Amino acid sequence: MTVNLADPMAAREHARAMAGTKADAMPVLPPVADDLPDGVAPGDLVWEEVIAAGGYATRRLSRGSRLRLVDLEGDACASLLVYNAEMPTERLNVADTVKVQWNGYLGAGKLLLSDMGRVMMSILSDDAGTHDAFCGTSNAATNAAKYGEGRNSGAFPNGRDRLLLGSAKHGLQRRDVHPCINLFKGARIEADGTIVPQVGPFDAGRELVLRAEMDVIVVIANCPHVLDPRDEYAVTRLRATAWRGPVTGSDDPVRNASPEGLRAFENVEDYYRR
């Protein structure tokens, strides 16, 4: 049936008839998930969303929250920004995340550090093993050069502008879009300095779980990795699930895994002691 959308009344009826329609990428409101970990009550769920290929999402998470990301079809790329929700001028510092931990490769037990020496999020589990703290994300120019189009409103949106859209929902501007990390797509550095992208596609269903060590704003863009060698705009859906959880205790193994990490946790604890 053809709907005359130029007629406001017909357009309204058509729009209302779409109520209850489920898309393959959308937030679930109120959040519901049937695969929460043991011990997590349904009432603790705060975020359930499938992020489209080329899409973005953002959420404010309280300290202690867990964020599970799932690469549903094996070709997602989660470019991640993190801000201090109380004071967004403090944000993820990728250089310090690498430098302070003496390690450029993220995985279980690693920390995401701020530019003020505090741990913002920690990685509790990871069965992907391919992440990238070196390359950043795509922009309008890189996408235009590769795909012939890179605008937000076009067929091949870029990661930086998607991150800008997500950050803007929290009153942030282009200057606030800092360097990101990429989850599920990796990059290895060879001895001669060559960057070797690890972009798959991989097995479907890989996941990792992060823990918020501060009240944070997370912004995620799901766009192809900037060094993806494929000619086509290749990216698939990403699932985000978050639930409330306890604040990290003094005996937590991730907290105590290294002197540098312990100091970053102590800096957080001092911040919340005010």
Domain ranges of the chain: 48-271
Instruction: State what percent of residues in the chain have pLDDT above 90.
Output: 88
96-125 average pLDDT score? 97
Is 1 a residue whose pLDDT tops 70? no
Its sign, for the CA torsion 182, 56, 152, 174, is negative
Instruction: For residue 12, name the pLDDT band (cuts at 50, 70, 90).
Output: confident
pLDDT in tens, 61-89: 999 999 999 999 999 999 999 999 999 99
Its sign, for the CA torsion 91, 272, 45, 209, is positive
pTM of the full structure: 0.94
- pLDDT at position 5 is 63
pLDDT in tens, 117-173: 999 999 999 999 999 999 999 999 999 999 999 888 899 999 999 999 999 999 999
Encode burial over 231-243: b for 16+ CB neighbours within 10 A, e otherwise: eebbbbbbbbbbb
Greatest distance between any 2 Cα atoms in the chain: 67
Using alpha carbons only, what angle is made at residue 216 by residues 92 and 204, rounded to the nearest 5 degrees?
A: 80
The helix (H) or strand (E) run that includes residue 21 is: none
Mean pLDDT (the chain, rounded): 95
Point out which residues pair with 78 in neighbouring strands: 183, 222
Written as one string, the DSSP assignment of 188-257 is: EE-TTS-EEEE-----TTEEEEEEESSSEEEEEEE---TT---SS-----EEEEEE--PPPPTT-TTTTS
